[in-house]
Chain A
Amino acid sequence: MLADASDAPRITAVNPAAAACRLAVGETLADARARIGALQVRLAEPDADVADLMRLARWATRYTPSVSLFKEHSGLDGFFLDVTGATHLVGGEKNLLADLARRLKAFGLPARLAIAENPGTAWAVSHFARTPCALIPAGTEAETLAPLPVEALRLAPETALTLRRLGFKRIGTLIDKPRAPFAARFEKELLRRLDQALGRTPEPLPLLAPPPAYVETRSLLEPISTEDAILIATTHLMQNLVPKLEADGVGARSLNLALYRVDGALQEIDIALTLPTQNPAHVTRLLGLKLERVSRFLESGFGFETLSLAVTVAERMVPHQSALATTSEETERAQRCTALLDALRQRLGSERVRHLEPVASHWPERSEKQTDRRSEKQTNEHSQNSNPEAAWPTPATRGLRPSLLLPRAEPADVIALLPDGPPQRLRWRGKVHTIAHAQGPERIAAEWWRSKTPEPTRDYYVVESGDGQRLWLYREGIPGRETAAPRWFVHGMFA
């Protein structure tokens, strides 16, 4: 029994025992307590209910990828499965219904199920028919719906109440009535719902996730739990996917492996690739590396009974390398390289494998960015045409740059002979360096078009201490013009 606290605590759900005592949903708790002394009450947790329903809906993707949760007006207590073209996998609609009922019962969920031509009828039958499992043949919607109450049309409570007051208690009394008076008296909703239930207008369903174009599912006789078994099963799935991919001339850029646990939990593993692939061995290897990393989070419990491999991103297989590389050996090397990068990304995380890319900016922090995709290698010719500025500047066009740049410039205490002169002594990280040679300044002005509050100009010096340590120093602000007491920072180290 559940009670909800709004104005006065009201009952939101009852169990069979309470229903037998004639307790009804909507009654206040005080009334119910007055009638039945031994009433047990639990607080309702709508958020947890929705989360659980979501989990169950994701579990149900084992039957079909098109799953849609009930919306507010349908009462958040179930979901639609679009099983069009998916029933033959479990041996027909009847078997599907039986299988679903059996599994839900095993979870301790006595569900009411219905299969019909359209969502409206299925909803009505599942909520108001006497049998818990119903299969409505096509074309019999009207006669099935006729004896059901008007609430079965997913109407707002007020509309249903008005209909009842007017004497329309069953859907059958509405079906053949002239439409104009209803349209005048009620909102459009009534007629729309009626049409949807009778299959006269289509009802699009908001799906949990768009169904992937390429998906392969396999149910196992015995649940599996070891990594090796998962890998073997995935290889089979990928091998089955390959003909479909080949037929369309595409390769998988991103894959999603869904593991359905015996107890209804769903675990998903995503694999992203640098280049589209059709190679099952490559996919399996990447998955193995990924599993190594996520094995801590993967709870096999009593094992996985169904595996589903979906290609979430498919891309046309373009022979990138053969166009660029001159020999087959080079092509092979490039392929091995992408395979290696994929493997490193799966095992270490994609943000760990990076390439340096130039940015057209003279401000040292912004002169490069780290990307996880190598773009300039694959689209070498394009990038030169479309984006000529994104090339590494030649050393001749700029001053010396340190090979190691500090992520954040670190303040240092500097003694200079003149306020705008080169540094003489430097204290940094608790050590005093006597500067034997200072080369500079190289003045770098801030990019005024970027921010409203202008950053101070920097005067960069390459300094060398007596023992050969070479640092990249800058003075922030032009003394006398931008600042009275300039501050010094160490920004990098030279070889």
Chain B
Amino acid sequence: MPSATSPSNPNRAEVLSELRRMLSRMEGVAQQEEARLSFGLPALDTYLPQNGLAFGAVHEITAASEADLPAAFGFFVSLLARTPGHGPLLLVLSSRKLARCGTPHGDGLADLGLDPSRLTLVETANEAEALWATEEAVRARGPAAVAGVLGGKLTLKDSQRLSHAAREANLPLLLLRAGEAADVATAATRWRIGAAPAARDRFGLLSGWRWHATLERCRNGRPGNWMLEFDHATHRFGLAAAMADPSLACGGAT
């Protein structure tokens, strides 16, 4: 097929995108355009093979260091909040490391753009229960998206089970790995988040969180590296302008 299309179509980029689509079709990743978690940021969305985070796949988020865990949690929640529709969202919590940083606070989640009334929190006593609950939630196909903060080690079999469940249900499954080695072998994307000094407005007040986002792994795509900014008021992602003067950096948010 590609050999038939490539001579007739000289546009190299189009051929590549066609090939990518074929690849994803072969891997069973969702094809619908709306079935994706978009960042709402063209620079980032077009970089990703599915124009965003694909549904029906596992997306892994890790913190660059233990101190960056709240930042990683913030990135994770703001991504979860971008799930289209108004369906309920389910968050499985089992990590002790995250529990050391606190429990999710409704008002704070609202600041990250997540409507707290959409959210169901499931707290589990151990890792086995958390894995079971996550898989069960994905397979039930009830929630619009499932997210898990898992602490322990994930074996290859566990991660295969999770991604298989996500693919069958065609739901995005976000996993925040609290301080563990990135080991979801079947993850479609893997992000490493580090905290960065926040953006300020011209009065010197905090106007947006900033994170060093490293795309370490991306199936059918390339890894990348961004300085992301999350605007407090509009709940949108932006790219922080790499400027030395913080008073000028506010332009990157809009």
A interface with B by C-beta (< 8 Å): 333-341, 343-344, 347-348, 352-358, 364, 367-368, 370, 374, 376-377, 392-395, 398, 400-407, 436-437, 439, 462, 464, 466-470, 492-495
Contacts and interface: CB of A to CB of B under 8 A. Distances in A.
A462 B90 CA distance: 29
A334 B85 CA distance: 13
B120 A353 contact: yes
A270 to B, nearest CB: 20
Contact of B87 (A333, A368, A370, A404): A333
A493 B66 CA distance: 13
B194 A468 contact: yes
B116 A392 contact: yes
B241 interface: no
B34 interface: no
A376 B210 contact: no
Given A392-B117, A495-B75, A470 B70 contact: yes
Nearest to A436: B197
Given A400-B232, A403-B109, A493 B102 contact: yes
B145 to A, nearest CB: 12
Contact of A337 (B68, B71, B142): B142
A466 B197 CA distance: 7
Given A403-B70, A470-B195, A344 B107 contact: no
Main secondary structure of the interface of A (DSSP, over half): mixed
B122 A400 contact: no
Interface of B: 67-68, 70-71, 73-75, 77-78, 87-88, 90, 98, 101-112, 115-117, 119-125, 129, 132-133, 136-137, 140-143, 194-198, 200, 204-206, 209-211, 230, 232-233
Given A343-B136, A395-B233, A464-B197, 19 more contacts: A335-B142, A340-B140, A348-B124, A348-B133, A354-B121, A354-B122, A368-B106, A392-B117, A394-B110, A400-B206, A404-B70, A404-B108, A406-B101, A437-B200, A464-B198, A467-B195, A468-B195, A469-B70, A492-B102
B108 A403 contact: yes
A403 B111 contact: yes
B121 A353 contact: yes
Contacts of B136: 340, 343-344, 347
A466 B195 CA distance: 10
A495 B70 contact: yes
B119 A356 contact: yes
A368 B107 CA distance: 8
- Identify the 5 closest CB pairs spanning chains A and B, nearest first: A495-B74, A468-B195, A337-B142, A404-B102, A405-B105
Contacts of B125: 348, 352
A335 B197 CA distance: 44
A344 B102 contact: no
B117 A403 contact: no
Given A340-B137, A464-B197, A494-B74, A395 B101 contact: no
Given A355-B117, A395-B232, A493-B102, A347 B88 contact: no
Contacts of B112: 403, 495
A169 to B, nearest CB: 68
B121 A355 contact: yes
B198 A392 contact: no
A246 B137 CA distance: 30
A347 B134 CA distance: 13
A402 B209 CA distance: 12
A230 B200 CA distance: 63
Nearest to B146: A340
Contacts of B101: 404, 406, 493
A352 B206 contact: no
A348 B94 CA distance: 12
B195 A469 contact: yes
Contacts of A464: 197-198, 206
B74 A403 contact: yes
B140 A377 contact: no
Contacts of B211: 495
A403 B104 CA distance: 6
B142 A468 contact: no
Nearest to A345: B122
26 contacts: A337-B88, A340-B142, A341-B120, A344-B136, A347-B132, A347-B136, A348-B122, A348-B129, A356-B119, A367-B106, A376-B117, A395-B107, A398-B107, A400-B111, A400-B232, A403-B74, A404-B70, A405-B105, A407-B102, A464-B206, A468-B198, A469-B68, A470-B70, A492-B102, A494-B70, A495-B209
